[in-house]
Amino acid sequence: MDSFFQIIDERRSVKVYDPTVEIPRDELLHLLETTGKAPSAWNLQHWNFLVFDSKEVQKRLLPIAFNQQQVLDASAVIAVLGDLEANRNVDPVFDPAVAKGEMTQEIKDVLKGQIDGAYTRPGYARDAAFSNASLAAMQLMLTAKAKGWDTCPIGGFDPAALAKEFNVSQRYIPIMLITVGKPLQEARKSDRLEPMNLIQWAE
């Protein structure tokens, strides 16, 4: 357990990367497989990842990210996309459990009814895409740190330009970019607000 808290304590948003360091695709795949174990509503896994791991594609991404140099110098950049149609994952998510006897067809039908009802509510699909994909984004950053890589979440980019330039399906909405790499300089430790000022006890 100590190592988990050490990872939490040592994770920083690194913005200056060594541009000579490459990350193997099998390493990226392992990071993303672990990321995919993040929790999600009904286990629908409302995320998709667009991976930039060559300088050629990172150069195309650079102006979309308002020319932030870390986008070019990082070993890779992961665009975290939220799934606006995660309700379409019902069968691929639940059918294996039904086939293995871990879930009855009746329970699946109840869950499907809940999901169908939720996705008829205005704004639900977008809210769910953002909240659940953000869980995966945090898991990615912690997983990367545990494997010796540093990261930085980036909200400063043009989502529409990203979707157009890289042919992102309208099913997905860009949530954030995450740079991954090795730092050239130590990231600044940021102060935190006093926790008690951020906590309210319900009565």
8 in a structural domain: yes
Quote the pTM value.
0.95
- What are 23-55's pLDDT values in tens digits? 999 999 999 999 999 999 999 999 999 999 999
Quick one: average pLDDT of 2-11?
89
Q: What would the 3-class secondary structure string for the chain be? A: CHHHHHHHHHCCECCCECCCCCCCHHHHHHHHHHHCCCCCHHHCCCEEEEEECCHHHHHHHCHHHCCCHHHHHCCEEEEEEEECCHHHHHHHHHHHHHHCCCCCHHHHHHHHHHHHHHCCCCCHHHHHHHHHHHHHHHHHHHHHHHCCCEEEEECCCCHHHHHHHCCCCCCEEEEEEEEEECECCCCCCCCCCCHHHHCCCCC
113 domain-assigned: no
Q: What is the pLDDT of residues 71-128, one digit of tens each?
A: 999 999 999 999 999 999 999 999 999 999 999 999 999 999 999 999 999 999 999 9
**Per-residue pLDDT at 2 exceeds 80:** no
* pLDDT of res. 191: 86
For 49-61, letters b (16+ CB in 10 Å) and e give: bbbbbeeebbeeb
Give me the number of domains the chain comprises: 1
Residue range of the domain that includes 48: 2-85+124-184
Look at residue 45 and tell me if it is in a domain.
yes
**What is the tens place of the pLDDT at every residue in 132-144?**
999 999 999 999 9
CATH of residue 58: 3.40.109.10
- Give a yes or no: residue 169 inside a domain: yes
